[in-house]
Amino acid sequence: MHYGLIVLWISIISQCSFFQFSHYMPPFNQSYRIYQLCTDQNDKIFLGNIQNSDLSFYLEKYILCWPDYEKFVPTKHHAIVWFLRALRGCEVNQILSHHSRPKAEFARTFHYDFLKYSYALICEKGAMLPQSEHAYLYAYSGLFNTLYQVGNADRQ
């Protein structure tokens, strides 16, 4: 019985080693983080009604600025908060919550869309999106690649 588990484990590891994220800049080249992020549960959060999900709670909190966030966030949300932090969620919150800016002035629509389509790109979930959203996926993927792809000529 243990022999079967060992063979299964080796085959999974060998398949995962071929799919690396070296074409992205840090922190998006950390494959173990991406594998933690790309789960069925997170598919429902990011690709479903993102504005009424757990993301809204974290997007408006300073937890994204804390280096030891894992102590304060449930384990099932560690990958979500890591992703939000990797996309500079702390800085976005600081800009949006600046005291001189009226709160009603900014809608987070762009922010939610960027999160949704970045998740779909990284986790290769574009096929789960409706056909009518594929143009948005293409546009936001271009933006993500410009920001985070290694050696992207548009960034230089």
Asked, for residue 145, whether it belongs to a domain, the answer is yes
Confidence of residue 29 (pLDDT cuts 50, 70, 90): confident
Q: Are 85 and 63 in contact (CB under 8 A)?
A: no
Question: Mean pLDDT: which of 27-36, 53-62, 120-129 is highest?
Answer: 120-129
Asked, for residue 6, whether it belongs to a domain, the answer is no
What is the rounded average pLDDT for all residues in the chain? 81
- Domain residues for the domain of 102 are 22-155
24 or 100: whose pLDDT is higher? 24
Asked, for residue 121, whether it belongs to a domain, the answer is yes
Asked, for residue 141, whether it belongs to a domain, the answer is yes
The whole-model pTM stands at 0.79
Tokens of 21: 């994220």
Asked, for residue 122, whether it belongs to a domain, the answer is yes
Confidence of residue 108 (pLDDT cuts 50, 70, 90): confident
The Cα–Cα gap between 146 and 156 comes to: 9
The Cα–Cα gap between 25 and 140 comes to: 17
Mean pLDDT of all residues in 95-102: 66
Sign of CA dihedral 63, 110, 56, 77: negative
Q: Provide the pLDDT for residue 18.
A: 45
Tokens of 68: 């030891």
Tally of domains within the chain: 1
Judged on CB neighbours under 10 Å (0-12, 13-18, 19+), 86 is middle
Asked, for residue 13, whether it belongs to a domain, the answer is no
The Cα–Cα gap between 132 and 75 comes to: 34
**Cα 131 to the center of its chain, rounded Å:** 21
Q: Provide the pLDDT for residue 105.
A: 55
On the question of pLDDT at 87 being above 50, the answer is yes
